[in-house]
Amino acid sequence: MDSTVVSFHEVTPEIVQITMEDRIHKNTFSKSLIDGLTQAFQRIEDHPHYKCVILTGYDSYFASGGTQTGLLSIFEGKEQFTDTNIYRMSLDCKIPVISAMQGHAIGGGFAMALFADFVIFSRESIYTTNFMKYGFTPGMGATMILPKKLGFSLAEEMLINAANYRGAELEKRGLPFPVVPRAEVMGRALELAHQIAEKPRFSLITLKEHLVRSIREELAMVTEQELLMHEKTFHRPEVKERIHDLFGK
């Protein structure tokens, strides 16, 4: 690993911890973060003994979605969110992945977290799918993975309203995932990782492949539909204005 913003740590010979730590960009999807995650997951793909991955962030940030520059490039038609697969790396990983969301998860960063096999929330952190805040429809598979993981009613509210939700509030709304104090997120993730690592690697890979096959197949169709919605919604003048005026607020 030659990344300065993504660290790769072998907790045990069977458990890997990937930490996103782009402090300059607050874990938005900068090129350095994307490159670092790509390297990390490729290293996992090439290793014959790993059984579980913990994906986490730094301090109060897990992942913050697209950069302002990246959003403006999509507005200008220079990029599409499918140009990289950062949002689905956990889904494509052949071994189980735990999203240890010790910090805020915003937009595509929240979608990315939900594509993991296990998700742990912190009570203090903010979780939001804020695409519509900027005036464009959601991407990165969010329109599929939120309903699947959170239930349709809560997902529809989060996607349309684009509001901020603390983990504690989502817990009261019946979130089907552990919600613990920020200081306990990594401890819970490590406990779970050790439990997973007790199982045979071949069986873990086989079962995950079976469980997520339909999600992987459906995602291709959903992202195509999201791109079509982007063609209709992303290139309007008010979107550019909102990206300039509201980004980071």
Could you tell me which residue, 37 or 3, shows the higher pLDDT?
37
Write out pLDDT tens, residues 158-192. Answer: 999 999 999 999 999 999 999 999 999 999 999 99
Mean of the per-residue pLDDT values for the chain? 97
Task: Tell me the percentage of the chain whose pLDDT exceeds 70.
Answer: 100
Question: In degrees to the nearest 10, what's the CA dihedral of 111, 135, 147, 17?
Answer: 10
CA distances from 71 to 33, 108, 138, 207 (A): 16, 11, 12, 36
Residue among 107, 125, 233 nearest 185 (CA): 125
pLDDT recorded at residue 248: 82
| 0.75 exceeded by pTM | yes
Question: Residue 207 pLDDT more than 90?
Answer: yes
CA distance 244 to 134: 9
pLDDT recorded at residue 249: 78
Residue among 30, 109, 112 nearest 70 (CA): 30
Write out pLDDT tens, residues 115-163. Answer: 999 999 999 999 999 999 999 999 999 999 999 999 999 999 999 999 9
Beta-bridged to residue 61, according to DSSP, are: 58, 104
> In the CATH scheme, what architecture does the domain 6-182 have?
Alpha-Beta Complex (3.90)
Catalytic (active-site) positions: 230
Domain positions in the chain are 6-182
pLDDT recorded at residue 216: 97
